[in-house]
Amino acid sequence: MNRKELDPASGRWAPFGVQLRRSREAAGLTQSQLAKLIGFHYSTVSFAELGSKQVSLRFARSADQALATHGTLALMWQQASNSAGLAEGFTEFAGLEAKAKELRLFEITLIPGLLQTRAYAQAELSEAVLRGEITPDQADERLNFRLARQQLLHRSHPPLLYAALAESVIRWSLGGTSVMRDQLQYLADLATRPNVLVQVVPFSLATRPFQTAVTLLTMPDESQLGYSEIPNRGFLERDRTTVAIWRRRYDRLQVEAPMRAVSLDMIRAARKDLST
């Protein structure tokens, strides 16, 4: 049988199809064998792998369970379904994020999406609607997808997560006092988990290593990737030299920024200031 190669950039469902095929082949299964395991016709598996047909969320979840892909396919399904509300280039990143064993985040203006409360996320997206950047329907799509991404922090073996946040992030009262107080409390609670390290980068720090938000991923095979974003467009950085430079900058930032206890005190102080 001829094996048709699929370009991940060839269509809306192409990334999902490529990931499904790679995961199935890594498990040593044929399309028919996978179809039998998940209770679907083999043609559905074939269409899904070719990216020529939208399959159901039940299909994606069943395939995740059969292939031990830890929710990656369901996450990619949700993103493909909601692609009109997400930044270009985010699809591939989200699939990799779900599989990473270590995440390093740097943020200048906002609490990172993985660490947001629902109310904070809604406030951020509502502002984007008011600015005319997205529609209300796209805001709903982004919210649902963001909350789905957060599940990676609650699975049985979550990744290590390091978050370096500029002090401006915890000082900007997005959504009003009540929303921000709850968000800072949630951030402080997360920061006490053994797999999460939050550092607040104070205004007094002399240099800033990045001019925009950056994420560094370490995959199970120890390969490293970077991701950055400008409005409505994301960039996945695979070049080893560039990623190594980003990693060195991040390592230096972690050394220079206050550690867990001091950063937690800064978060709690910012929350207290909102109360007064």
Q: What residue spans define the domains of the chain?
A: 7-81, 88-275
Residue 144: the pLDDT is 85
DSSP string, the chain: -------TTSSTTHHHHHHHHHHHHHTT--HHHHHHHHTS-HHHHHHHHHT-S---HHHHHHHHHHHT-TTHHHHHHHHHHTGGGS-BTHHHHHHHHHH-SEEEEEESSS--GGG--HHHHHHHHHHHHHTTSS-HHHHHHHHHHHHHHGGGGSSSSPPEEEEEEEHHHHHS-TT-HHHHHHHHHHHHHHHTSTTEEEEEE-TT-S--S-SS-EEEEE-TTS-EEEEEEETTEEEEE--HHHHHHHHHHHHHHHHHS--HHHHHHHHHHHHHHHH-
- With a cut of 60, say whether residue 84 has pLDDT above it: no
pLDDT tens string 127-183 = 989 988 878 888 888 888 888 889 899 888 999 999 999 999 999 999 999 999 999
pLDDT score of 90: 73
Residue 1 has pLDDT above 60, yes or no: no
Identify the pLDDT of residue 164.
Answer: 96
Which superfamily, per CATH, for 7-81? Answer: lambda repressor-like DNA-binding domains (1.10.260.40)
Among 100-114, 135-149, 195-209, 259-273, the least confident range: 135-149
Query: Cα separation of 6 and 36, whole Å?
Result: 24
Cβ-based burial of 33 (10 A; exposed 0-12, middle 13-18, buried ≥19): middle
pLDDT of residue 156: 87
Question: Model confidence over 192-240: pLDDT tens digits?
Answer: 999 999 999 999 887 778 888 999 999 999 999 999 987 666 788 999 9
Looking at domain 88-275, which of 3.30.70, 3.30.870, 3.30.420, 3.30.519 is its CATH number? 3.30.870
- pTM above the 0.85 mark? no
- For residue range 177-199, what is the model confidence (pLDDT) as tens digits? 999 999 999 999 999 999 999 99
